[in-house]
């Protein structure tokens, strides 16, 4: 079995924290690096924490090869404070991390995007996500996987009132989302993280997009 090293950006979020747990428990990964602004309390023999300024991600230096990079960076306009601040996190930081992957000979770049991502969308959030996908698709990385979850289910540290209500509704009516509607069904963050890891381990190359319905079937 090929041993690998993984890096996670956004390890404090809903999907990122699940990625961290799953990768630390996965015997195929020898080292798991997380890049953060502030250190986490997590302790594990495989875990390496790197505090960085995301405005200069290109300056990240490691003394070993990273094989797989998992990007779960993302915010909301409300949390970021403005559209410009949101764009910096959800576009600039993600694309610059992809460029670091190119310069560091990373083999696989797996990114959390969003359902509805479209560079031509009239909705700012969806347009930024779509522009990010277009930009990373042009990077010279052997495997790029974009994952578009619908409503994320799970216990988010950051409180989002509307999301809590939507999760409750989805938990009650989720059984109605079958067939073509499956991609709209709420998906647990653990399943998104699992799909990203499974995709990283698949013997494929190129640019791929995984809609929420497809991730539902990658159990």
What pLDDT is attached to residue 212?
Answer: 85
4 contacts 68 by C-beta, under 8 angstroms? yes
Task: Give the length of the chain.
Answer: 219
Between CA 172 and CA 160 the distance in angstroms is 19
pLDDT digits (tens, 9 = 90+) for 134-170: 999 999 999 999 999 988 987 755 554 444 434 443 4
176 contacts 186 by C-beta, under 8 angstroms? no
pLDDT above 50 for 74:
yes
What's the pLDDT band for 41 if we cut at 50, 70, 90? Answer: confident
3-state DSSP call for residue 134?
helix
Phi, psi angle pair for 27, to nearest 5°: -65, -20
Tokens of 134: 């277009």
147 contacts 112 by C-beta, under 8 angstroms? yes
What pLDDT is attached to residue 158?
Answer: 55
What pLDDT is attached to residue 182?
Answer: 45
pLDDT digits (tens, 9 = 90+) for 1-29: 789 999 999 999 999 999 999 999 999 99
C-alpha distance from residue 147 to each of 47, 49, 64, 169, 194 (Å): 24, 25, 27, 23, 11
DSSP annotation of 43: -
Counts for the chain of helices (H) and strands (E), in that order: 8, 9
What's the pLDDT band for 88 if we cut at 50, 70, 90? Answer: very high
What pLDDT is attached to residue 151?
Answer: 85
136 contacts 199 by C-beta, under 8 angstroms? no
User: Which residues, including other chains, have CB under 8 Å from residue 202's CB and lie 6 or more apart?
Assistant: none
Average pLDDT, the chain: 87
Is CATH 3.40.50.720 the right assignment for the domain spanning 4-158+188-211? yes
């Amino acid at each position: 079995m090929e041993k690998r090293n993984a890096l996670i950006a956004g390890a404090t979020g809903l999907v990122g924290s699940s990625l961290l747990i799953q990768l630390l428990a996965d015997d195929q990964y020898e080292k798991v690096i997380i890049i953060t602004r502030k250190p986490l309390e997590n302790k594990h023999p495989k875990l390496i924490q790197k505090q960085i300024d995301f405005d200069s991600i290109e300056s990240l230096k490691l003394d070993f090869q990273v094989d797989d990079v998992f990007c779960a960076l993302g915010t909301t306009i409300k949390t970021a404070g403005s559209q410009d601040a949101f764009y910096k996190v959800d576009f600039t930081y993600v694309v610059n991390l992809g460029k670091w992957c190119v310069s560091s000979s990373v083999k696989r770049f797996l990114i959390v995007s969003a359902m509805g991502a479209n560079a031509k969308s009239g909705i700012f959030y969806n347009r930024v996500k779509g522009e990010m996908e277009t930009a990373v698709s042009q990077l010279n990385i052997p495997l790029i996987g974009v994952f578009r979850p619908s409503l994320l289910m799970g216990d988010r540290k950051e409180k989002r009132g509307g999301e809590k209500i939507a999760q409750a509704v989805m938990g009650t009516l989720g059984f109605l989302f079958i067939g073509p509607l499956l991609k709209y069904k709420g998906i647990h963050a653990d399943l998104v993280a699992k799909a990203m890891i499974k995709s990283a381990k698949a013997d494929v190359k190129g640019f791929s997009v995984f809609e929420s319905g497809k991730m539902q079937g990658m159990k």
